[in-house]
Structure 1
Amino acid sequence: MRTFDLQECADFLKVDRTTAMKLAQQGDIVGARIGRAWVFLEDDVVAFLREQAQKQTLERLEGRTNPDHEETDRRTHAAIQRQLQPATTRKPGRTARALPRLPDLPANTPAAQAA
């Protein structure tokens, strides 16, 4: 029987390490914390993946959608639209200040003579 550490489990599930840790802490994936390390049995990780695949496939076939996914999709779409819009240089409601006028250089300075 093969075991996975946290990174191997995350790699197997094609998720980030923090996502795998969150799933383990919530008890979604069967695993044990031995000292500082998480240890997972390969069979348990495969069973979790198979359960998720069957559950999500059934939901798609029944035409059900998760409202959380709809909210996430809406927020993602809004974020993309904001990025595509031209950036404004000032915050709305603020007026542009006039740039300060710098004094003219005296005619006898080396910088003024070079120009």
Structure 2
Amino acid sequence: MLDTINAEQCAKLLGCTEETVEELTRKGDLPGLKFGRSWVFVRADLLAYLAERARLEADERRSGRANAQRAAVNVRPLKPRRQQPPALPRPATA
């Protein structure tokens, strides 16, 4: 039997607000089903989604770190920025 939860329980599981859960589900980011006026989620699907998302973000961080290390080797010194000229004095008014 599938363990289903509602949006409030899903928000508690994910550590966010119910509004965030509904917004992410409407956009298709979270696996859920609109059943009448409520959202229904399968707990196993949410946990699989979280695990996959965590793996993807970890891979992105690793590749970003590797790219940063590669870029650090090929860094050119920055050109000094041009300074703004001083403001001109305003003419005196009578």
TM superposition score category, shorter chain reference: 0.5 to 0.7
- Which residue matches 2:63? 62
8 Å CA contact retained: 1:5, 1:39: yes
Q: AA paired with 1:41?
A: V
Distance 1:37 1:22 in 2: 13
Query: 1:28-64, CA deviations, whole angstroms, 9 ceiling, x for partnerless residues?
Result: 1111111101000011111111111011100111116
Taking only aligned residues, the RMSD between alpha carbons, in angstroms, comes to 1.1
- Which residue matches 2:4? 3
Aligned pairs for 1:1-115 (under 5 A) are 1-63=2-64
Task: Calculate the TM-score normalised by the size of structure 1.
Answer: 0.53
SS in 1 for 2:51: helix
Higher relative contact order (CA 8 A, sep 6+): 2
* Structure 1 position 7, deviation (Å): 0.6
8 Å CA contact retained: 1:10, 1:16: yes
Q: Percent identical across equivalent pairs?
A: 36
Q: AA paired with 1:9?
A: C
Flag structure 1 segments of 5+ consecutive residues without an equivalent. Answer: 65-115
* Structure 1 position 16, deviation (Å): 1.2
Flag structure 2 segments of 5+ consecutive residues without an equivalent. Answer: 66-94
Task: Calculate the TM-score normalised by the size of structure 2.
Answer: 0.64
* Structure 1 position 27, deviation (Å): 0.9
- Which residue matches 1:97? none
Q: AA paired with 1:21?
A: E
Q: Which runs of 4+ in 1 moved over 6 A?
A: none
